[in-house]
Structure 1
């Protein structure tokens, strides 16, 4: 088994503590003293000198020229470029390649100067704002810039958006959508600036309107064709999640129309006038607060660079141009898209397109990014691809990104050795609020990688999967690949598969493909698809052909569905052992897969589980305790039982089993706690068919409910719906269908907390 970072650090510490033979210490010190210090160059945002020293710092380009000259003359020491604090506005990326790389045992480092916070920025500051009579403000946008995102005072603005449009109104076909009349788009001033945002299961589509004819909307091509069924490029199984499939439920919203600009914090881009109009949040003043729109797409590109470090550098306001083109955003999975009007049959996702990133490493060797800060981005944070090997991104921060934080590796299952991603590391990074705009993006995505380490990262507030490793589903071309020996260890992943973002069929940790030697261990997963609208969203999801994976010693709580999912018989020989969770899961369906020695249906976390959770993540212990469940020891009854779905299934600690009554007026389910208890919180988990809707939840000290505390829960119960701050006392908790017609009560779990 490949050692984790933790064991490697311990080994190094043990080696350092070893007593050396007499004279060895002085010899080592002498060798260090003999090694020359690095050559240091200074760069500054306004630097223009050609000496690049403290008195005369140079530009980034000037520093690169000095480094290249040094390398060309032969390296006898390390070279270091120190960036002074401030913003470095870029109209093209900082490009570093073999000529900028270390050699002869020496390294080139681009780093923040001591105490400095340099930021490479692709943004353009908008000035000259004028106030309109309706309280909005308008500013001109520089030529060549499309204002797809806007940040005011460091805060992301929202493209003006409307309400959802159901499939019955916005009916989708291969040619476009109906609904132009009902939505009002037929009367809008600039419909061709409008984008339809559509979500189908795990996929996200964003295509621009190109025309209105009567009630029909047409869209940019090939975006709409690539979002529809029958392309032949994604395989027939993918046609079940296209915009014109039976799983399509409607348009999530239309965006970027002045007619929709009605909420503070929203903006509209006018492509004809080349202006942005913004409705400020309370307290914002456009004469004072800086407004920035991303313009430059990539900020740093390392093309076949090697022995190169980037340390302490910020990346901000990078753009992502593809969604503004005719390709639009035809999502496939995890932030990758289908582009182009034609292409080869691609059922295993070999030719899908990754999002643009602020930092791109192509074919890198021993490239190490440390202490970087990626924020306010229109696309992804960093991409390491095209056979990048022995490289790392560590102790860096990713926050407020339109797409995913990190993309590691590629989509070819069997690349040439020089194009295979091997022995890369993502460790001690913090990822918060990625996938803000493209909600199908994963926090960390890795394709066909070998020897990848994803260790001690903190991921939180994400719309879809947290960590996704592997690719290819069950397609023939992907059944034997370079995937192997990957380690997903000691990460803290919280608040992912966010319900508000409407993405389904993912997990906090998600895998695909046969990955012999791969280990998922020591992770703390809390709140994945918690509060979902259906039974969906897993803790650890061994999807499709995931095989030969060990899942051990993880702690998983507050999950919308299974703590582990290995649903396909062609996902083989997986092992789950020693995990701790507050729910359960059906037996693993994978051929030869086993689950043994797991601690399930917990209503509190034992000390051993708490210790595992406390060690996880990049930023110290953050463990949310499980409150004791008073209902677990109670006695459950219901108005009438449907088959084997008995009342006790709702207090068995397993959210994958259901209680279900027969249909009837006033159907009810209740539990007797055995004694009067203080009750402050009740969790109600709907069943598989989402049968429970519009109910009264009553708490009473007596079985007749003569003096009960009753709260009405309108609409469908979620997984879970939470009734909090009840400040009640009672022995009996009853859930009753309201209304005059027949109804059923279906419950996966009811939890009662004091």
Structure 2
């Protein structure tokens, strides 16, 4: 009796289409030049790799190695290729194209289905987990579930030290059934930490090692010597949340892993059914690895459910910057971060030459999307889509400033990709990162909804290594970067485009940046940030709007020879610091984008013609301002000068106020209140009135500090707009805009 093959209807259709194509006669010249085509299928076997009897991925790889001349194309039939280990390609696999068969959407998956859900009395579901699997992520019907988490714990209760943390009794952690399955998640400025609780003794918690030591200042290996962003530093203010405890499972879409019972317990969302819903957890770390291969093309293939195992171990996640971590219990002191570790990725290219990855999708990943490293050159990542990743989308290059010639990353291109909703778990990750790279092109990408910086190029902080390295001639051009440095994630000191290190010949041009650190609670959200020793960089013809702080910034005067020219922005910024740096011909303090700027912004991004959020006219610009008092030289006019980096400030007094007279009654649709750089203004009324005595005022109260900005939709007629504290305090503002 012939065994039945497991072939889906879609796969059969692809077989038939492919067969028809193979049977179609080709001209003799075309037939002679056509590549050898091999086929792979999710359940393929054998060694001939024909359309009728496709191979497994490994079988197709091995068959391709036997083809002389190496003009080979491996086509993947539709379906999900479940991998427990990555497919590995080496130098002997050079010259092969790996592509989706016509009409097919093959997906390489590192996921393991969780089945046999039982329903508990409290409405949760529980499933047993096979040995060897530690679920860090869970996806139900393709939607990410969150590890059960609580609220923040202030430093006054959860006091972090070099050896551990207080607060176990006051938070109730001491009474949890399994506190050692839980993790503390902490953000300090640009860093993110995830360390598992190792033990609870009274009110004191200790954490897995070396995660905690590598997160604390005692290691002396966590970055620049001046750094104060470790878990036990003066910058530490709280634990963002503890996660993965049964006691925290209280919101639909959350789950918890119990390492003793080896179970996952999930609180379902509305409409989910334990018999029909599919739960998947990533288990395979990496799906495709190219090591030393050249002239390989990967096209039209999906990558899903790849794992990132390190955070599950005692190493944890001791974040340093941009999704890289400090690992190892010991190591050399190296404040330039030479020994930091990149996250695991679904696809990794090491030492590649002329590798092309295009039209592929990366989704539902426990780590990063793609990595080009260890001397990869002349390779391209293009027209791919990245969404729902725990870490960043693309990592290009390494952190060694002067590598051996064969390890220099050079002339790699990241272009026309769409990157959305990445850094979901590790919020210090960036969309696209490039280390010490030469001739890298990052062009026409769309990046949206990211917790920290969008694009980061360069490394080394203020260390000597950053002055003389292989960094040079990089191009960051025509990218669309929107809604990055999202304020709710509390990752600071970044930008839509961020650079480090001297990189002669580098150009940042034609980019559209809108809403970076918008609604922020600190003064350091930037559009383009030439940080530390960023030098010899041209910033030209970018459109930069709705930025939390400065549209262009380089606070360090040891970054030299930077030039910002011909950019369009709705705010202003101080002159660039550093010898030889200039700002000229920039169009600043705009309340409408001119047609030329709109054209540049619309052309940016992966699709070529995108929407542009036009600026709204500002009625306050031409108004007459006053305030109840003035502290020093911080005059009332600083709040309508179009510059969010200059502030006005009153004395601290009862009912302190600032106001603008618009000159005549206008319809006021919205008021934007931008707090000063010290976030001073809090608990205040915004009053809109037609009369100067405010007897007819409409009032909106804001509790707590104003953000950058606080937006108030008003929809009323008014001539006067006043901002007034309701108790005793100061009014201190960077910017007030009144929109019709």
Q: Which residue of 2 aligns with 1:4?
A: none
Counterpart Cα distance in 2 of 1:32 and 1:452: 38
Q: Which residue of 2 aligns with 1:95?
A: 88
Selected match of 1:748 from 722, 734, 739: 734
Q: Alignment length, in residue pairs?
A: 713
Question: Is 1:147 paired with 2:144?
Answer: no
Other structure's SS at 1:727 match: strand
Other structure's SS at 1:307 match: coil
Q: Which residue of 2 aligns with 1:167?
A: 155
Counterpart Cα distance in 2 of 1:43 and 1:223: 42
Question: Is 1:483 paired with 2:471?
Answer: yes
CA offsets 1:313-352 (integer angstroms, 9 cap, x no match): 0000000000011110000000000000001111111110
Q: CA deviation at 1:52?
A: 1.2
Q: Which residue of 1 aligns with 2:78?
A: 85
Q: CA deviation at 1:524?
A: 0.2
CA offsets 1:16-60 (integer angstroms, 9 cap, x no match): xxxxxxxxxxxxxx9975861011111111212322111111111
Q: Which residue of 1 aligns with 2:444?
A: 456
Check 1:239–1:213 CA distance in 2 against 1; reply closer, same or farther (3 A cut).
farther
Counterpart Cα distance in 1 of 2:224 and 2:521: 27
**Superposition pairs of residues 549-560 of structure 1, within 5 angstroms:** 549-560=537-548
CA offsets 1:417-476 (integer angstroms, 9 cap, x no match): 110000000000000011000000010000000000000000010000000000011112
Question: Is 1:679 paired with 2:676?
Answer: no
Question: Is 1:289 paired with 2:264?
Answer: no
Counterpart Cα distance in 1 of 2:105 and 2:180: 41
Q: CA deviation at 1:566?
A: 1.3
CA offsets 1:580-638 (integer angstroms, 9 cap, x no match): 00001111112210001100000000001000000000023121111111111111111
| Alpha-carbon contact 2:289-2:348 (below 8 Å) kept | yes
Q: Which residue of 2 aligns with 1:126?
A: 114
Counterpart Cα distance in 2 of 1:288 and 1:346: 52
Counterpart Cα distance in 2 of 1:674 and 1:645: 23
| Alpha-carbon contact 2:410-2:439 (below 8 Å) kept | yes
Q: Which residue of 2 aligns with 1:666?
A: 655
Give TM-score scaled by structure 1 length: 0.93
Selected match of 2:709 from 705, 720, 727: 720
Q: Which residue of 1 aligns with 2:605?
A: 617
| Alpha-carbon contact 2:224-2:336 (below 8 Å) kept | no
Counterpart Cα distance in 1 of 2:144 and 2:738: 39
CA offsets 1:269-290 (integer angstroms, 9 cap, x no match): 0011111001111122222111
Q: CA deviation at 1:233?
A: 2.1
Counterpart Cα distance in 2 of 1:143 and 1:344: 36
Structure 1: 5+ residue runs without aligned partners?
1-29, 103-107
Q: Which residue of 2 aligns with 1:63?
A: 60
| Alpha-carbon contact 1:194-1:256 (below 8 Å) kept | yes
Question: Is 1:221 paired with 2:209?
Answer: yes
Other structure's SS at 2:228 match: helix
Q: What is the RMSD of the two structures over their aligned residues, measured on CA atoms?
A: 1.2
Question: Is 1:388 paired with 2:376?
Answer: yes
Q: CA deviation at 1:390?
A: 0.3
Check 1:164–1:174 CA distance in 2 against 1; reply closer, same or farther (3 A cut).
same
Check 1:242–1:92 CA distance in 2 against 1; reply closer, same or farther (3 A cut).
same
Counterpart Cα distance in 1 of 2:223 and 2:624: 50
Other structure's SS at 1:217 match: strand
Q: Which residue of 2 aligns with 1:653?
A: 642
| Alpha-carbon contact 1:300-1:358 (below 8 Å) kept | yes
Q: CA deviation at 1:215?
A: 0.5
Counterpart Cα distance in 1 of 2:121 and 2:606: 49
Selected match of 2:455 from 444, 451, 467: 467
CA offsets 1:644-685 (integer angstroms, 9 cap, x no match): 111111111110011111111011111111111111111100
| Alpha-carbon contact 1:228-1:239 (below 8 Å) kept | no
CA offsets 1:341-381 (integer angstroms, 9 cap, x no match): 00111111111000000000000000000001000000000
| Alpha-carbon contact 2:195-2:318 (below 8 Å) kept | yes
- Tell me which moved more, 56-65 or 485-494: 56-65
Selected match of 1:567 from 555, 574, 582: 555
Counterpart Cα distance in 2 of 1:274 and 1:495: 39
Structure 2: 5+ residue runs without aligned partners?
1-26
| Alpha-carbon contact 2:286-2:345 (below 8 Å) kept | yes
Other structure's SS at 1:631 match: helix
- Tell me which moved more, 43-52 or 273-282: 43-52
Question: Is 1:494 paired with 2:487?
Answer: no
Q: Which residue of 2 aligns with 1:43?
A: 40
Counterpart Cα distance in 1 of 2:218 and 2:276: 52
Q: Which residue of 2 aligns with 1:641?
A: 630
| Alpha-carbon contact 1:241-1:248 (below 8 Å) kept | yes
- Tell me which moved more, 402-411 or 726-735: 726-735
Check 1:668–1:141 CA distance in 2 against 1; reply closer, same or farther (3 A cut).
same
Q: CA deviation at 1:691?
A: 1.2
CA offsets 1:683-711 (integer angstroms, 9 cap, x no match): 10000121110111111111111111111
Q: CA deviation at 1:477?
A: 2.5
Q: Which residue of 1 aligns with 2:354?
A: 366
